């Protein structure tokens, strides 16, 4: 177990370094490079910029600049927002909860509905339900999230008037019920693609588990089909799902950005787009690095949870 | 030479079997038919319609579909939605196709080298793949699109830059499993160069998974173009794309819902079709079902 943890941890660190190199490359691609935030200031002349370059050490070799930049990231000095001068990490922090809430609720929806479809499809293989679920999943994977959001708003907000068309709450309404009411539509929109993915994985995993010997043993013991399915089949099929949940993180974050834009949801995705609109590159860079680190962390946690739950790794 | 001719016969036979299996896949055929139909409509359609995609008919702004002369209605400037949809389709399909070509080339190159060389070269390349996959693709796409001038060519390059990793992974795994096979050892014994072995001996054996992955990449690339254009950082107006036709449609959702519904439906149909084709090819070429 300890060996596994150390190995896994060092893998994550290596990836973190590579991610930071990619991030640094993009930072230098941005118009004006690391000085982008000053380049847009009309009060700055070319000489000022040259002088700043010297002051900030941008005339040094590129790898020293990289080390300097990376060290500041590690220390938590992610620069300041170009818009209001607030530290980038604080700005991101204030938008984190909304995004995590949206991602969490849509993941719950995606896993529960997806798992149900997958298990039902696997136990009734080649039935009409299974066929429709397979085709439906492929179509669901092809629907642009923002378009599904627009159609959802059109039907449920504009035509039926059941659900709000955007924002996290009404102004002055702090009730939990109000928040939940606003959460329903964006969560469903964000979950569509992932319901499809989960249902496909769950179907495969269930089919794999059904053909295992321990299921035959359980049948031979005389357990009811329902008990076999719930305890032995689903229990074993669920384990890889934890890893999958980690692997899904980049795509959930991508979906969240688009969903937040359509529903004016005050999360990281909206912040990213707003910052791009204002050419607020410190925040853009911060969010880019933050989302990648979130993904690395998510995968690491998923693998550790699997290691704790799975006796084959835990006891190794 | 004898080895080559002996090889050709079974491979042609296998291709026929694959073609047969593909023809039996009804959804894949439906997808193929849809793509052919869409491509023809986008190439020929604009010449057959009475309106130019840039023609502004001020008296017919916000005309709903199936009323008057504009059969898919008009947009807020009074431009014909049908004409714009077909012109946009040209851009979206071309961007999707060329992004696939570029990312398949890069992904295959990286995958072959990493899989064949192995060692620290392979490890570095594959960790780079993991690194790129750690970024949510839309964040990466938007940051790059904001950094570089968004012309259709640049958008294609950017999309390719964020979608080559999948192919690289598939090819690397395939090449790694083939590396120690007898025919490769035989090639080495004959003194063939590493490049020859990699690209002429090993790569043809990995074509099945590459073809499947590249079909799915077209679907993904069309979606990605739609995402960034919808958000305003992709194809720039007046050049229409399916994504940027939806940009701004949200504010007219109540009064002119067709502006949002029609281009989105076109994207969904095109992407679904490519996914169906990819699924059919996977069955036909007997590629393992790794994901979805």
Cβ within 8 Å, pair B142-A272: yes
**What would the pLDDT profile of A173-206 be if each residue is shown by its tens digit?**
667 777 777 888 899 999 999 999 999 888 888 8
Query: CA-CA distances (angstroms) from residue B16 to A35, B28, B282?
Result: 59, 16, 15
Q: Which residue of A has its CA nearest to B249?
A: A150
Distance from C-alpha of A101 to C-alpha of A168, rounded to nearest angstrom: 10
Helix ranges (H only) for A153-277 are 176-210, 213-220, 225-227, 234-247, 249-262, 268-277
* Separation in Å, CA of B58 to nearest CA in chain A: 26
b/e per residue, A252-271, with b = 16+ CB within 10 A?
bbbbbbbbbbbbebbbbbbb
- Angstrom CA distances, B267 to A147, A311, B258, B260, B264, stand at 9, 46, 14, 11, 5
Partnered with residue A80 across adjacent β-strands are A87
The interface residues of chain B toward chain A in range 11-70, judged by CB-CB distance below 8 A, are 27
* Inter-chain CB proximity B253 and A250 less than 8 Å: no
Helix then strand then coil, in percent of chain B rounded to 5, is 75, 0, 25
| Cα R_g (chain B), whole angstroms | 22
Fill in the DSSP letter of residue A34. Answer: G
B64 is written with which tokens?
């709903």
Cβ <8 Å between B292 and A200: yes
Length of chain A: 316
pLDDT tens across the length of chain B (292 residues): 444 444 444 555 556 777 777 777 888 889 999 999 999 988 887 777 777 766 777 666 666 776 666 677 777 776 778 888 888 899 999 999 999 999 999 999 999 999 988 889 999 999 999 999 988 888 889 888 888 877 899 999 999 999 999 899 999 988 888 888 888 888 888 888 888 888 888 888 888 889 989 999 999 999 999 999 998 888 888 888 998 888 877 778 777 788 888 899 999 999 999 999 998 888 888 776 544 3
Out of A138, A150, A292, name the one closest to residue B134 (CB): A292
Q: Pick the residue of A147, A160, A194, A261 with the most B CBs within 10 A to test the interface with B by mutation.
A: A147
Q: Does B233 touch chain A (CB under 8 A)?
A: yes
- Tell me: cis bond preceding A153? Omega within 30 of 0 counts: no
Selecting from A18, A142, A261 the residue whose C-beta is nearest the C-beta of B272 gives A142
Q: What is the ipTM of this complex?
A: 0.84
How far CA B131 is from CA of A171, A269, B67, B168, B262, in Å, comes to 41, 21, 52, 13, 37
Give B201 to chain A, closest Cα distance, Å: 32
Q: Hey, what domains does chain A have and what are their CATH numbers? A: 93-274 (1.10.3720.10)
Residue of A135, A144, A150 lying closest to B250 (CB–CB): A150
A143 pLDDT above the threshold of 70: yes
The chain B residue lying nearest A252, using CA atoms, is B136
The answer to whether the Cβ–Cβ distance between A292 and B135 falls below 8 Å is yes
Measured CA to CA, the distance from residue B84 to residue B46 in angstroms comes to 8
Q: Does B143 touch chain A (CB under 8 A)?
A: yes
């Amino acid at each position: 177990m300890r060996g596994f943890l150390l190995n896994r941890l060092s893998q994550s660190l290596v990836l973190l370094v590579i991610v930071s190199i990619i991030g640094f490359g993009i930072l230098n691609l941005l118009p004006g490079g690391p000085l982008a935030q000053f380049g847009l200031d009309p009060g700055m002349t070319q000489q000022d910029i040259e002088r700043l370059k010297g002051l900030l050490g941008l005339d040094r070799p590129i790898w020293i600049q990289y080390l300097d930049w990376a060290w500041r990231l590690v220390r938590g000095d992610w620069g300041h927002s170009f818009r209001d001068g607030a530290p980038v990490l604080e700005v991101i922090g204030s938008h984190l909860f909304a995004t995590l809430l949206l991602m969490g609720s849509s993941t719950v929806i995606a896993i529960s509905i997806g798992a149900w479809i997958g298990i039902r499809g696997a136990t009734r293989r080649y039935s009409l339900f299974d066929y429709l679920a397979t085709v439906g999943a492929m179509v669901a994977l092809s629907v642009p999230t923002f378009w599904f959001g627009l159609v959802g708003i059109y039907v449920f907000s504009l035509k039926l008037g059941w659900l709000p068309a955007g924002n996290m709450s009404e102004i002055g309404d702090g009730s939990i019920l109000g928040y939940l009411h606003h959460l329903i539509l964006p969560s469903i929109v964000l979950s569509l693609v992932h319901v499809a993915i989960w249902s496909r994985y769950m179907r495969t995993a269930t089919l794999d588990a059904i053909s295992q010997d321990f299921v035959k043993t359980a049948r031979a013991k005389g357990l009811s089909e329902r008990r076999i399915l719930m305890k032995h089949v689903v229990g074993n099929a669920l384990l890889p799902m934890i890893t999958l949940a980690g692997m899904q993180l980049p795509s959930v974050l991508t979906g969240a950005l688009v969903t937040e834009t359509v529903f004016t949801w005050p999360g990281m995705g909206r912040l990213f787009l707003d910052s791009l609109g204002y050419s607020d590159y410190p925040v853009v860079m911060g969010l880019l690095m933050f989302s990648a680190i979130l993904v690395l962390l998510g995968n690491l946690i998923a693998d550790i949870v699997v290691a704790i739950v799975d006796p084959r790794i835990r006891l190794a | 030479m004898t080895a080559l001719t002996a090889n050709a016969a079974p491979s042609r036979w296998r291709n026929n079997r694959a073609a047969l299996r593909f023809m039996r896949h009804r959804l894949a055929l439906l997808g193929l038919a849809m793509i052919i139909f869409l491509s023809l409509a986008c190439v020929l359609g604009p010449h057959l319609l009475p309106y130019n995609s840039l023609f502004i008919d001020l008296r017919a702004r916000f005309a709903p579909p199936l009323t008057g002369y504009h059969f898919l209605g008009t947009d807020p400037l009074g431009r014909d939605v049908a004409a714009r949809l077909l012109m946009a389709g040209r851009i979206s399909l071309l961007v999707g196709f060329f992004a696939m070509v570029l990312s398949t080339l890069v992904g295959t190159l990286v995958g072959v080298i990493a899989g064949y060389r192995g060692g620290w070269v392979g490890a570095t390349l594959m960790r780079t793949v993991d690194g790129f996959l750690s970024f949510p693709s839309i964040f990466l796409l938007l940051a790059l699109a904001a950094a570089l001038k968004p012309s259709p060519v640049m958008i294609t390059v950017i999309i390719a830059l964020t979608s080559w990793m999948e192919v690289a992974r598939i090819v690397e795994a395939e090449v790694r499993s083939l590396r120690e096979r007898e025919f490769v050892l035989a090639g080495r014994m004959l003194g063939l160069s590493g490049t020859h072995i990699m690209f002429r001996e090993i790569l043809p054996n990995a074509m099945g998974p590459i073809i499947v992955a590249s079909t799915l990449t077209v679907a993904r690339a069309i979606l990605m173009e739609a995402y960034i254009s919808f958000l305003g950082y992709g194809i720039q107006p007046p050049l229409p794309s399916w994504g940027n036709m939806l940009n701004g449609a949200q504010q007219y959702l109540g009064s002119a819902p067709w502006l949002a519904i029609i281009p989105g439906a076109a994207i969904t149909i095109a992407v679904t079709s490519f996914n169906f084709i990819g699924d059919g090819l996977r069955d036909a070429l007997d590629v393992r079902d790794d994901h979805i």
